[in-house]
């Protein structure tokens, strides 16, 4: 019996290629699936050994009961691994002549993966025949007529479908949908009958294009038409090339592209989206925008700082100094040196460092002209350590709101600091 249906499919956003979609699915779910799978992998392998080598079918059932309970309780369980566990438990029950439990395992298996295929050359014919019997009573087929390969969602599970492909589904009501960027969005409900197939024609209409942007190095901001579309993530192989950033919703026509990363020359270019739109990929490599500074000094105990961060002892040659404005300091107990400038990419500059004593200015003022004349003497305080400041004599008390300056005080002084002490106002 063949049931024919026609559905027009398509989306207002831009689509990834089928391969990119599948890759994204694997990447997003991979960690949880890997954890769940790894947790039960030793147990299922032991159960396989019990079934195929030791013939301890009761022990295999006990082991598989625990594995299946763990995997079915996890939202990240791997359907393929769960199907293998059900098949192994069905084989154990079949060897124990428990056909009811075998049938139940087969039905659970087919509800997880209706397209599960047995390795018939490794299994007994009666077992294979029993499995086929259960499958014919539970599974039907959907024949898809497509104008191009497309990622579809069948009951929420995303799969790559090709023109003329047959999809196995358990009997009952199902939903098929296309909700991919770049295609008109549609969903359709239909009913599958066991041991029958129905035919569904999907006309795929593309409405916008995509750009998969790969950069060298990774960590590059991708800006399309003055809108940030993400940062390129590290590549899977750990090399200099990034993984792609997918830019969707690209209407046919010309678009601007800007790639930016600190310490690299930006790339500004244009790209076009054809009509009808499609998917395209670009790989662009950014050029480092760095300068080199050579710090020369005769001091043996000097340290270099760039924008306040230590960069090691002087003398030294600092490569890969990002182009732009920087403050370079050389500090030593005997003095201090500072250089402020805007560095140009490709420049090499030698700094001949002459350390100069560094001090803070402390000014003590009295409450009247006479006191001020006697006390307003600048004091030079060594910047390199905590110092004790003592006035030669305490400032005189005056009537009104005058206050006494401390005779002695300890504090840390920054270069260029000016501190006044005078009457309260």
Predicted confidence (pLDDT) per residue in 106-119, tens digit: 999 999 999 999 99
Lowest mean pLDDT among 250-259, 305-314, 397-406: 397-406
Q: Say if CB 105 and CB 90 are below 8 A apart.
A: yes
Please tell me the pTM assigned to this model: 0.54
- Fold match, 209-285 / 290-352: yes
Average pLDDT of the chain? 81
pLDDT of 23 > 60? The answer is no
Q: Residue 270 and residue 280: Cα distance in Å, rounded? A: 14
Lowest mean pLDDT among 80-89, 113-122, 323-332, 380-389: 380-389
Q: Catalogue the E-assigned strands of 136-196.
A: 139-146, 150-154, 157-161, 166-170, 172-178, 186-192
Give alpha helix (H) positions in 324-414. 369-375
Q: Residue 173 and residue 191: Cα distance in Å, rounded? A: 4
Q: What does the block give as tokens for 274?
A: 């054809």
Q: Is 121 helix (H, G, I), strand (E, B) or coil?
A: helix
Q: What does the block give as tokens for 328?
A: 């370079």
Q: Band the pLDDT of 384: cuts 50, 70, 90.
A: very low
Q: Which residue has the tokens 């038409």?
A: 225
CATH number of 290-352: 2.60.40.10
Q: What pLDDT shows up at residue 308?
A: 94
Q: Band the pLDDT of 360: cuts 50, 70, 90.
A: low
pLDDT of 177 > 50? The answer is yes
Q: What does the block give as tokens for 305?
A: 């700082």
Q: Residue 205 and residue 144: Cα distance in Å, rounded? A: 16
Q: How many CB atoms lie within 10 A of CB 142?
A: 21
Q: Band the pLDDT of 198: cuts 50, 70, 90.
A: very high
pLDDT of 36 > 60? The answer is no
The DSSP symbol for 347 reads -
Residues in contact with 15: Cβ distance below 8 Å, sequence separation at least 6, in sequence order: 180, 181, 182, 183, 206, 208, 210, 248, 279
Q: Residue 379 and residue 383: Cα distance in Å, rounded? A: 12
pLDDT of 69 > 90? The answer is yes
Q: Residue 44 and residue 58: Cα distance in Å, rounded? A: 14
Q: Band the pLDDT of 42: cuts 50, 70, 90.
A: low
Q: Residue 111 and residue 191: Cα distance in Å, rounded? A: 15
Q: What does the block give as tokens for 366?
A: 């009295």
Secondary structure of 11-69 in the HEC alphabet? CCCCCCCHHHHHHHHHHHHHHHHHHHHHHHHHHHHHHHHHHHHHCCHHHHHHHHHHHHH
Q: Quick one: how far is CA 131 from the chain centroid?
A: 43
Residues in contact with 47: Cβ distance below 8 Å, sequence separation at least 6, in sequence order: 60, 63, 64, 67, 85, 88, 89, 92
> What are the residue ranges spanned by the domains of the chain?
2-204, 209-285, 290-352, 359-421
Q: Say if CB 184 and CB 205 are below 8 A apart.
A: yes
Nearest to 108 by CA among 70, 72, 156: 72
Nearest to 110 by CA among 92, 144, 136, 74: 136
Number of helices (H), then strands (E), belonging to the chain: the values are 6, 27
Q: Band the pLDDT of 5: cuts 50, 70, 90.
A: very low
Topology of 209-285 in CATH?
Immunoglobulin-like (2.60.40)
Tell me the C-alpha to C-alpha distance, in Å, between residue 288 and each of 253, 294, 344: 31, 19, 12
Residue 276: cis peptide before it, omega within 30 degrees of 0? yes
Residue 216 phi, psi dihedral angles, 5° rounding: -125, 115
Q: Which residue has the tokens 């026609």?
A: 6
Give alpha helix (H) positions in 295-355. none
The mean pLDDT value for 377-390 works out to: 44
Give the Cα-Cα-Cα angle 348, 354, 357 (nearest 5 degrees): 140
């Amino acid at each position: 019996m063949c049931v024919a249906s026609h559905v027009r499919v398509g989306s207002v956003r831009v689509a990834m290629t089928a391969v990119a979609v599948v890759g994204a699915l694997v990447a997003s779910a991979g960690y949880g699936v890997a954890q769940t799978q790894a947790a039960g992998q030793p147990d299922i392998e032991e159960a396989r050994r019990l079934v195929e080598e030791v013939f301890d079918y009761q022990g295999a059932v006990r082991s598989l009961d625990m594995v299946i309970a763990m995997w079915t309780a996890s939202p990240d369980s791997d359907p393929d691994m769960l199907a293998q566990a059900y098949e192994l438990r069905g084989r154990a029950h079949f060897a124990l002549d428990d056909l009811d439990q075998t049938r139940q395992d087969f039905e659970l298996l087919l509800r997880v993966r209706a397209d599960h295929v047995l390795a018939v050359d490794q299994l007994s014919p009666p077992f294979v025949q029993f499995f086929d019997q259960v499958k014919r009573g539970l599974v039907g087929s959907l024949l898809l007529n497509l104008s191009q390969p497309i990622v579809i969602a069948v009951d929420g599970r995303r799969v790559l479908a090709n023109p003329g492909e047959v999809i196995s589904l358990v009997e009952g009501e199902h939903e098929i949908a296309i909700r991919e960027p770049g295609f008109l969005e549609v969903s359709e409900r239909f009913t599958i009958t066991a041991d029958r197939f129905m035919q569904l024609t999907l006309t795929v209409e593309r409405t916008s294009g995509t750009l998969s942007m790969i950069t060298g190095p990774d960590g590059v901001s991708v800006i399309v038409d003055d809108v940030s579309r993400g940062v390129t993530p590290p590549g899977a192989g750990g090399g200099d090339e990034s993984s792609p950033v997918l830019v969707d919703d690209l209407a046919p026509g010309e678009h601007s592209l800007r790639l930016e990363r600190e310490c690299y020359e930006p790339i500004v270019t244009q790209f076009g989206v054809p009509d009808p739109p499609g998917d395209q990929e670009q790989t662009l490599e950014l050029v480092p925008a760095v300068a080199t500074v050579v710090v020369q000094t005769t001091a043996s105990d000097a340290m270099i700082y760039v924008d306040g961060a230590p960069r090691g002892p002087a003398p030294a040659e600092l490569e890969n100094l990002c182009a732009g404005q920087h403050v370079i300091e050389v500090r030593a107990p005997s003095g201090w040196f500072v250089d402020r400038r805007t560095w140009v990419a490709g420049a090499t500059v030698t700094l001949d460092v002459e350390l100069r004593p560094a001090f803070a200015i402390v000014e003590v003022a009295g409450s009247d002209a006479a006191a001020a004349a006697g006390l307003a003497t600048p004091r030079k305080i060594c910047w390199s350590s905590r110092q004790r400041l003592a006035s030669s004599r305490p400032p005189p008390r005056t009537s009104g709101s005058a206050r006494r300056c401390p005779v002695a005080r300890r504090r840390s002084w920054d270069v260029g600091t000016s501190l006044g002490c005078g009457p309260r106002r």
